[in-house]
A and B are shown apart, each in its own frame.
Chain A
Amino acid sequence: MRGAKIRRALIASAVVLCTVLTVSMGAAPSILAQAPAVEEVEGIDKAAEVEIERRFNEMRREILDDRADAIGWWLSGVALLLTILAIGVAAGGYLGIKRLQAIAAEAGESVETARGYAEEARKMVDEMRRHGEDAGQLLRGMGSAGSGAAQVMAGEDTTRDPGRVGASAIAEARQLADDGQIDEAIERWRQIASVAAGSNDELAALAHKSVGDLSEHKSRSIAS
């Protein structure tokens, strides 16, 4: 009779303990069993106490095991999530690095190309300086290549250094004019004016003036 009472009390304690533990895990129902009064288990012998203690410990171990299992599951879930996250980050990082490497390679190529252009521009500048004086002489030459009237009307061209850019184009325009290919020469000067506009107004002005001189020369050629 007394043993049955003790068992009931133990079970009730265990249920309370389990309930408390479960609640502390946050997912248990909120139904609480009523625990019996402690006075009902007075006069328990030593062996029973040991047995009770043993069972209590056994239960506690089971509860702890359950708890450990739950924590284990949670940790596994978290680990899985972290793994997935890590894999994602790693993949993203890998792709990002690959992209950065491609951009770096592209930038390197651009730098090389730019160096090439810079070198070309430097050569053009040198050539331009060499031909700078000749550019003015060309137009004077064309004026004197026409009729007597053309000589009278020919104006003196600028002797200023026309500046940078397009030395070979100027040389080509000059050659075309010398060869009598006036339309082509005009086109070349127009290109020079277009390229120089904004960056070298002095040269652009010279180019426009050359277009004017050639067009004027052409108009007189047709008139005569």
Chain B
Amino acid sequence: MTGQQSRAYSLPRAGLQREGLADARAALAAYEQAIRLRPDYAEAYSNRGNVMCNLGQYEAAIADYDEATRLRPDYAEAYSNRGNAKAAFGLSREAIEDFGLAIQARPDYGVAYFNRGLVKSGLGAYEEAAADFSEAVRLMPEFASAYYEQGIAKAGLGLQQEAVDEFSWAIRLDPRYVEAYNSRGVAQVGLGRFEAAVADFDHAIRLRPEYVEAYNNRGLAKAKLGRHGAALADYDQAIGLEPERVEPFYNRGAAKERQGDYEGAIADYDQAILLQPDDVEAYRNRAVAKAALGRTAEARGDFTAALELVARGG
């Protein structure tokens, strides 16, 4: 299982489409006017910062949030937004501090708990993340994403059944929560409930027919059920939708290998290594496939490469 999951991405995203860029520029111009007329307009600074974030200009965004919080030291939203910008800029620890300031300014600010949980979850601190998501759920009981992220944290802690429960809550609140179906499917696989997992992936694909991760994950679940042909079809679909993703190539190579199609497997591993040159497992599996074909020297080379990568910490 590759564990490929799609997560609700609540941090600011860079790279708007062209139409979005035009609107973002219009928004910036409007905020400029507002600030010109009212230089103490903290909200205008904060919201301009949001636009900067959307445009990927995190440093400028952080400067705006700085100004907003200088003008209004109790401005919880600005602290939280600055935390988002810092997290997107790779400053996770500082981001966590900002979320703390937001919570300090407004102890019932569920969004700040939620955002802090996201950053902690991203750092692998699932225990702390789960605590933050619990608080977010308590403060915002109708916020499906909080349950969903709680599920991710629980899964990270190896608590698959609890994760399934959290994803189910998220789906109850938002029946079109496609990522929740996909993630619950992954948790079901972790619990060995492959049929239930396939059902969840089916649902996710129905909701979003171009959902690459769901195809890949359904292929894995089907492979677990021994339905290798169907699994290959799902991997093909995933590769067709997004040829730059390494996981479907790797998984398809493994499926072909199990079917005895070593040449086909080697071709897929080639692609996987091309896309991700430090993929140890791809080198190892390709070595096995080559050895099965009697290409001993090449197999030895791949093993050596895999070992070197491991030695380098790959």
Contact = CB atoms under 8 A, between A and B. Distances in A.
B10 A202 contact: no
B81 interface: yes
A213 B27 contact: yes
B24 A153 contact: no
Contact of A216 (B43, B54, B77, B78): B54
Interface in A194-216: 197, 201-202, 204-206, 208-209, 211-216
6 contacts: A148-B10, A149-B10, A153-B50, A202-B38, A212-B28, A215-B24
Interface residues of A, number: 31
Contacts of B46: 155-156
Contacts of A197: 37
Given A148-B143, A218-B23, 6 more contacts: A155-B81, A157-B43, A193-B33, A212-B26, A223-B16, A223-B17
Nearest to B33: A208
Most buried by A among B44, B76, B81, B114: B44
A141 to B, nearest CB: 14
Contacts of B48: 212
A153 B84 contact: yes
Contacts of B31: 208-209, 212
B30 interface: yes
Given A222-B17, A223-B13, A215 B26 contact: yes
B24 A148 contact: no
A98 B78 CA distance: 68
Contacts, number: 128
Interface string B14-56: 0111011111101111110111011001011011101101100
A219 B50 contact: no
A193 B38 CA distance: 13
Contacts of A152: 10-11, 80-81, 84, 111, 114-115
A157 B34 CA distance: 13
B262 interface: no
A200 B280 CA distance: 66
Given A149-B9, A152-B114, A208 B53 contact: no
A220 B21 CA distance: 9
Contacts of A218: 20, 23
Contacts of B310: none
A152 B31 CA distance: 19
Contacts of B33: 193, 204-205, 208
B180 to A, nearest CB: 12
Contacts of B47: 155, 209, 212-213, 216
B12 A222 contact: no
B8 interface: yes
6 closest A-B pairs (Cβ-Cβ)?
Answer: A215-B27, A219-B23, A212-B30, A208-B34, A211-B30, A205-B38
B75 interface: yes
Contacts of A205: 33-35, 37-38, 41, 44
